[in-house]
Each structure stands twice: as C-alpha cells, then as structure tokens.
Chains A and B, each alone.
Chain A
Amino acid sequence: MIRKTILFSILVAVPIAAAVVGFTTFGQSGPENFQEARIDLPDAEMLDASARAFRLRGDIDRDALVVINFSYTTCESICPLGNQILQFVDDRRDEVTRSVHLLTITIDPAHDTPGKMREAAEAFGASEKWHWLTSSPAVISEILKAADANVADIEFHDPVFLVGEIGSGRYFRSLSMPDADELIRMLNSFEA
C-alpha cells in the first residue's frame, strides 16, 4: 500500500512538478502568446528613414534588445495596428530594464523608399531608436527567410513580432498580435 502510494505520488507528482517548472520557466521567459525561436539574422545592408546606410546587426548595440516587425507603408489594416503598438512601446521604453531598439522592416521594398519610410516614421513620432528600414528586394527576402516570416503575398502577411537579442539570436516570436503590455513583459523577461 505504501509502495502504491509512493508510486502514485511519483507518477502524479512528477508530471505536476514538470508542469509547474515548465510553466514557471515559460512564465519567466514569456507570455503564452510567444514561442521561443533561434534566428540568425544577416548583417544586411539597409537604408534607414533618412536614407543613411544601416547594418542590421552592426548598427545595433550588442547588449540591446530588439523588437522587429514586418510592415509596409501602404498597408491600411494590420500594419497601422502593429505600428501603433510599437509606438506605445517606444513611449514606454523607460519601463524596460535594458536598452531597446525597435525595427520596422518593409516587406514592400519596391515602393517603400526611405522617403516613404520617413513619412510613416514621422506619422508615428518615432524616436531615434525606432529604425524604419528598407533595402533591395533581394536583401529583404534574405531577412524574411532568416526570420521565417511568411509574406508570400504582402497583403496577407503574418502580423509577426520578434522580440530578442540580435547578438545571441535568441528570440520570441508572437503567435498573434501582442499588445504593448505583453511586449514590455517579454522584453523584461530577458536577463538584465
């Protein structure tokens, strides 16, 4: 009987403990709307909204965290919502322990010139740490492939947010549109 109790305890308690540990670990690393991913973004040559050269890895502080969103300036439905959420994060960056760079990368490089990106950045009052980036179609394609972002048809692209460390390649990918509270919690889940 005692053996049975012990066995029962082990069989039940172990999965519960695993679940608790798992939940706790997941809770520390991010809300349920995110999935961890390893992403090795290229050090791509891009242009920012002032038409200055910008290297995707080289021009971001190695210790900084990034929030990356894929968007295009003529998009009227999901992209404005994504940009609005990034604006909230931009305004609330003092709630995050570490330095944060926000990256809006166009998925319509043929149309989104630096000038178009600048207009959009100004419309959202972007700070200097919110980078609006464009490049050649080939480079954009390379980035999207590395990020495993599905944009076969730009008008039906996934509203993906990536939160992570560009240096280590440790990211969390949003599974649905997060709000700014979730993104800030996610950013603060990284070690200071």
Chain B
Amino acid sequence: MTLLRAVIFLSFWAFPGVADPPGPGRAVFEGLAGVPGHAAIGSNKVEASRFPCRTCHRRDGRGGGEGDAPPIAWEYLSRPAHGRPAYDRGSFSDLLAIGVAPSGKRISHLMPRYEFDDETLGSLVAYLSVLTAEQKTGIHPDRIVFGVPVPTGHEAYGRRLIQNLDAVIAAKIPRNGLYGRRVELRPLVGDLPSIVDQARRQTVAVLSPVPSGRFDHSHFTGSGIPVLFPLAAVSEDDDHTLIRSLYASRERVIGSLIDKMGTDGCGQLSLLTATEAEFRDVQARLVPKNRASLEVSRDLEGHAGCAFFLSGNPGTLTWQDIGRPRAIYVPGAHVVDLLNSLDGFDGTVVVGRHETTALDLAVAEDIEVIRAHAVLIGEVLHDALRIAGRDLTRTSLLSAVGAVSRPDLGIGFPTGTPAGSEEVILQSVTFETGGGQPE
C-alpha cells in the first residue's frame, strides 16, 4: 500500500463551487447556455449560442484565422476603419440583424444574422467595450503575472511549485525578460472563491492548479481565466483556447488502459464509473478493443476477473464488493480514491499515468517529479512567450502555447486539442495481502 502511495506524489483537495453568473453580452460572446436570441442562416434559424462571436473573432476579439474575421473589440468598431464610418449601437444592431455595415456594404456570408432584444444588444456592446482590458489582465509593460493557487490548508504544494518555478524561470528567462517583460509568479492565497477572484483581476493565467478528483478546471475557465499546465489530466473536449496541458488527456489514459485489458485477456469486467453516460461511453470503447469476448457489468455483486475503476467518488464501496477481481485498472487521478478501498486486496493494480513527460524527465535527470514538471513549464512558457510577441493577450498566449513544438521533450499540441502529449505510462503493482511488489 505504501509503495502504491509512493507512486502518487500529489495531495487532493475538494473545493466548493464558485458562482459567476455572466451577463447576456458575455454569454452571447462565449456561446454559454441560455443565450437569448437567434442566429439566422438564410431562412433557417437556430439558437444564438450555436454561433458565438468567439469562435470566429477569437476570445480576444481580434479576429483573424479561418474566414479572416475582423476585430470586434468595441474600441475598434467605434472608430472609422477601412473606409467605413464608426459603428454606434444603432449601426451595430443593423450589422447583426441584416448584415450591412455603416458603409452600406454587405458583410461576409460566413457570419449569420442575429436577432437580439435591446437588453442583450446593450450588454453585448458593454462586454465588447471591456474585452481588451479583460484580455490584457496581468500583462504590464514590464512584467507578466501568472497566478499559482495556494489554497488554505494546503500551502505545501503551492510553496514547492513556486520554489521550483522561480528557479527554473530565473534560469530560462533573461534577466530583462522577453520583449521587456519579466515573468512574475503570484501566489493566490485563500479559499477557492477568493483565489478565482484574484486570478480574474490580477493574472494572465493560472499555473498548475492543484489536482483533485473533485477539483474542476471550470472554476477558472468558467470565468474566462486561462489555466496552463494543470497536473490533473484534461479532457480532449476541454476548450483549448482556455486550457493547455503538458500531458496526455484523460481519454488517452482510458484508451491505454482499455488496450492493456485487451492484452491481459480480461473476460469479465466490473466497470465502475461515476455516471451512466461514462459507463456507456467506456463500454462502447471496451468491447471492440478486447480480443476475448468481454462481459461488462455494473453489477457489484457479481464476480469479475478484472475491474476498471473510473469513479472518483466510491462512497462506502469496499473493493470486495466488486467481486474480488485479479486485476484493477485505474487512471492515476482515481488512485487515491481506490486506495481507500484496497485493504486486503490480492492481485494487480494497473495505473495509467498521463504525466509521462515529467516522469521521464524526473527519471532521466534524477530529480523530483514536481521539479521536472516545473522544468517543462519553464521550457514551454519560454517558447510560448517568444512566439506570442509583444502585443500579448490571454488568448494569444494560449494560442502561442499551442504553437510550441518540443519533440525533444515529447511535447506538442495537435490542432484543436488541449493535451500536449499522447504518451501514457502504465505502472503495475502486484499486491499480496499486506503489501505489494511493483512489476
């Protein structure tokens, strides 16, 4: 048991939720649920949330990219440009509704027409007016401020990470900084609502928030705060314009464990998931991957040769409940939950680890994993800040991280995904009653 705990190097915390109800203008811009109004394409209409501003004009409103969408921050729209008069609220309303600019020109077919009420339109103009300031949060002429969460009662992790990052950044970033800006790491102290508030007001992005089965990146990303290099695995469905990881995705870890079950010849499997939807999804992926005919069950009473532990909340589950399997497969994120149910287990635990690049570096350099994590952050942040250039926004920083390619470190970001690696390590630990031996 101690040995398996030694594989895990991080503590887990639980945080209460943070409520941050956005105004309708921001909801329209970001495409949040419950956006009022419609988007029309020809004679067909859909909810406006299907086509939010940010997908074409980008989160910082600067446009560019596919379709070459123009900038839409209000300080740009409200002054004459490219032969068109300045927009006011009335002409902006016309643009959205009928697709005609103040110059009289009809705009691109690539933009739907929008129907909003007055309140939503006013709120959208108000949001576009503060967009640039929000996007420039933490970016100063002489420094760029990143936040490192240090939650109350769990200061040790934050302190160690900051200590390591400070050393790495001092070695990697020139004394005068990049483009005249040095990197400042600011500890964000307090309870979760306070940390999110500090991050929103003071920092360009949050670095490596503490991992937890119950901690959700959306506490930050839901408020528009980018999250860089979390230790917990990201999902491939996470928004890559708000979150970037150095490591493999949760889906990749699950896929590797499924492959391993196939080669191990699991015939009966107890599949323990937190939700019914996850059960169906994993079941659908398991069956075609398994060479033997595989019987997948949620029935905790039945005997199963193998168990796939994907639940972050086992409650009072004891592991005998799942039928005394000979092998348990578990993503690293759920190992701590599993350990609480593992007394008396005889068999093999196979752990899927997403943070492969840090583990590889730690072994190669004979350093702590958290140090290796900090080294990778220093390398990628340095490259990203060089790519992003002087005129930086939160969005352009995330985009620049996505453009970093470091095959020497096993890091690269395929188009549209937040994960910086596809490599997964599987660690097997064999238990006999009272102890375990790694294979």
Contacts and interface: CB of A to CB of B under 8 A. Distances in A.
Interface string B390-427: 00000000000000000000000011110000000000
A111 B2 CA distance: 40
B360 to A, nearest CB: 24
A73 B236 CA distance: 12
Contact of A75 (B66, B108, B110, B112): B66
Contacts of A178: 109
B56 interface: yes
Interface in A101-125: 108, 110-111, 115
Interface string A150-163: 00001111010000
A159 B65 CA distance: 13
Given A77-B65, A178-B109, A179-B41, A84 B46 contact: yes
A31 to B, nearest CB: 12
Contacts of B414: 110-111
Interface string B103-140: 00000111010000000000000000000000000000
B316 interface: no
Contact of B66 (A84, A115, A155): A155
A84 B67 contact: no
**Interface size class for chain A?**
20 to 34
A45 interface: no
A162 to B, nearest CB: 17
Contact of A80 (B51, B65, B108, B109): B51
B66 A177 contact: no
B233 to A, nearest CB: 18
B112 A77 contact: no
A73 B42 CA distance: 24
A74 interface: yes
**Interface size class for chain B?**
20 to 34
B275 interface: no
Interface in B45-61: 46, 50-51, 55-56
A77 B42 contact: no
A80 B50 contact: yes
Given A180-B41, A182-B42, A111 B65 contact: no
Interface in A77-113: 77-78, 80-81, 84-85, 88, 108, 110-111
A62 to B, nearest CB: 30
Given A77-B55, A77-B56, A176-B108, A88 B416 contact: no
Contacts of A154: 415
A159 B44 contact: no
Contact of A179 (B44, B55, B65, B108): B44
A70 B151 CA distance: 47
B292 interface: no
Interface in B335-368: none
A181 interface: yes
A191 interface: no
Nearest to B50: A84
Contacts of B69: 77
Contacts of A81: 41, 51, 110, 112
Contacts of A115: 285
B44 A80 contact: no
23 contacts: A74-B415, A74-B417, A75-B66, A76-B55, A76-B416, A77-B55, A77-B56, A77-B65, A77-B69, A78-B56, A80-B51, A80-B55, A81-B51, A81-B112, A84-B41, A88-B41, A88-B44, A156-B65, A159-B67, A177-B108, A180-B44, A181-B42, A182-B42
Interface of B: 41-44, 46, 50-51, 55-56, 65-67, 69, 108-110, 112, 285, 414-417
